[in-house]
Amino acid sequence: MTYPSILSDLPELPLAESFALTEAYNLDTFPEKVNLGQGVYRDEECQSWVLPSVRSAEEFLHQQHLNHEYLPIPGAAPFIKEAQNLVFGPQLAQKENIRSVQTVAGTGANHLAALFCARYLRPKNVFISDPTWDNHQLIWETAGPGIERKLYPYYDPSTRSLHFDGMTAELENSAEENDVVILHACAHNPTGIDPTQTQWKKIAEIVAKKRLFVVFDSAYQGFASGDPDADAWAIRYFYSTFFGDASLSTSAIPAGMIVCQSFSKNFGLYGERIGALHLITPPSVSPWGAYTHLVRLIRSEISCPSLFGARCVHTILTDLDLRSKWIEDVKTMASRIQSVRTSLKSELENIGAQGDWDYIERQIGMFSYTGLSKIQVHRLKQVHHIYMLENGRMSLSGLNGNNVAYVARAIKDVVDRH
């Protein structure tokens, strides 16, 4: 006997592309297969790398005989303090209008930000870069179903550079007061193209004039350039310019700001799911009411965040030797990514691949936005067993001295054919 159910009408949904790619790669038995899809750091052997600073912190913590009690709902206070110091710098982090909570990595921070904005800010639109990290769309689709998701131009395929005029024109012409704009703090995913400091200042002027609410997604601080302070420049500029001085005219201040901070890439703590959300209110507005609503949302979703990864980050950032070791670790990661950029560009040029490949070196961070079409990406997978996202995003840490020439020849093949 069968029983009708409304659940029978639900269609089967495909697995998220990056996870489906990894699954397909793992099932592939071809000996020269290459995984350029997953956004995780790999060492020169293309193996998972535990940062030496993290390994030292783990060994220290395991000697302390610590308990596994629940954290408070907002998270571990010592960790949150160091997260604030890292993203804002110690001086700005002391400001009263910054209130922070621990989250389930950067994804959890973005989801909490979307929930908070949808419920309490009630924007008409959220502006998302075109292209962007695919989860931005899904997060806002599920957390803010009544909010229109609009794309602002970001990538110019003709120049393989930032479409700055299109970006600013869209915000100028279409954004309304209290609308949300999502900005990538550094190492834009997937393009690897960031605004210059001059361009950031212009973006900030528009955001303030239109009284928009800014959500910074900061997933790569330190990992992008090897310098955590340099990678936090845009966030600190926005705060110092608009939120740090109560004497500013209210007409020149954005509606507010949230920073979504991840420790997955820069600490290699992918599976520990460690992140933070920082809420910034205008200097004349108390953040405490909004903060309590953030805490309430956390209680309803996860009760309280995870413990061990937060202890690792706190241990590293408060120990001078471990912090110094961590800085060297992020420099190591940034340097290796830059070196494979140079190697891939050189290989493509040496074998006479059609096109100008300089953009590979100009981009920054984990990814290269190759400009390859879906047809070309499909051929790379089917013929050459090289896996990357359909939009042409290549995760560079999957390259090393043993496979870069093979990948370059494969790219030449698909470019020559299409």
28 alpha carbon, distance to own chain's centre: 28
217 is catalytic: yes
DSSP secondary structure of 180-192: EEEEESSS-TTT-
99-108, 135-144, 148-157, 244-253: the lowest-pLDDT one: 244-253
pLDDT of residue 250: 53
* Token digits of residue 241: 């310019």
Strand, coil or helix: 123: coil
Is 264 a residue whose pLDDT tops 60?
yes
Residue 167 · residue 174 · CB < 8 Å? no
* Token digits of residue 217: 């997604």
Residue 367's CB is within 10 A of a number of other CB atoms, namely 26
Q: How far apart are CA 105 and CA 302, in angstroms?
A: 13
Domain ranges for the chain: 16-50+334-417, 70-318
133 is catalytic: yes
* Token digits of residue 166: 């299109």
Catalytic residue chosen out of the listed positions 140, 194, 231, 265? 265
Q: How far apart are CA 377 and CA 320, in angstroms?
A: 45
Question: pLDDT per residue over 327-365, tens digit each?
Answer: 999 999 999 999 999 999 999 999 999 999 999 999 999
The CATH code of the domain at 16-50+334-417 is 3.90.1150.10
Q: How far apart are CA 243 and CA 21, in angstroms?
A: 42
pLDDT of residue 246: 65
Q: How confident is the model at residue 176 (pLDDT cuts 50, 70, 90)?
A: very high
Instruction: Mention every residue, 6+ apart, whose C-beta is less than 8 A from residue 301.
Output: 112
If 0-12 CB within 10 Å is exposed, 13-18 middle and 19+ buried, where does residue 46 land? middle
Is 148 a residue whose pLDDT tops 60?
yes
Catalytic residue chosen out of the listed positions 140, 179, 194, 217? 217
Is 72 a residue whose pLDDT tops 60?
yes
Residue-averaged pLDDT of the chain: 95
Q: How confident is the model at residue 251 (pLDDT cuts 50, 70, 90)?
A: low
Is 408 a residue whose pLDDT tops 70?
yes
Q: How far apart are CA 112 and CA 215, in angstroms?
A: 11
Amino acid type, 391: N
Is 296 a residue whose pLDDT tops 60?
yes
Mean pLDDT of 134-158: 95
pLDDT of residue 418: 74
Of 52, 112, 100, 102, give the one whose Cα is nearest residue 307: 102
Mean pLDDT of 23-33: 96
Instruction: Mention every residue, 6+ apart, whose C-beta is less than 8 A from residue 194.
Output: 162, 184, 186, 187, 188, 364
pLDDT of residue 245: 73
The structure's pTM equals 0.95
Mean pLDDT of 365-388: 96
Q: How far apart are CA 38 and CA 50, in angstroms?
A: 17
Q: How far apart are CA 165 and CA 73, in angstroms?
A: 43
Q: How far apart are CA 92 and CA 332, in angstroms?
A: 28
Q: How far apart are CA 219 and CA 192, in angstroms?
A: 12
Residue 62 · residue 327 · CB < 8 Å? no
Mean pLDDT of 105-128: 97
221 alpha carbon, distance to own chain's centre: 9
Is 248 a residue whose pLDDT tops 80?
no
pLDDT of residue 84: 98
β-partners of residue 217 are: 184, 260
Architecture of domain 70-318: 3-Layer(aba) Sandwich (3.40)
- What percent of the chain has pLDDT above 70? 98
* Token digits of residue 190: 């997937």
β-partners of residue 257 are: 214, 280
Is 204 a residue whose pLDDT tops 60?
yes
Catalytic residue chosen out of the listed positions 133, 140, 326, 357? 133
Distances (CA, A) of 324 to 280, 316, 329: 29, 9, 9
pLDDT of residue 224: 92
Q: Which long-range contacts (CB under 8 A, 24 or more apart) does 165-170 make?
A: 167/129, 167/203, 168/202, 168/203, 168/206, 170/127
Mean pLDDT of 263-292: 96
pLDDT of residue 66: 93
Q: How confident is the model at residue 144 (pLDDT cuts 50, 70, 90)?
A: confident
pLDDT of residue 249: 56
140 is catalytic: no
If 0-12 CB within 10 Å is exposed, 13-18 middle and 19+ buried, where does residue 112 land? buried
Helices (H), ranges, 273-392? 288-301, 308-318, 320-350, 359-362, 374-384
pLDDT of residue 284: 85
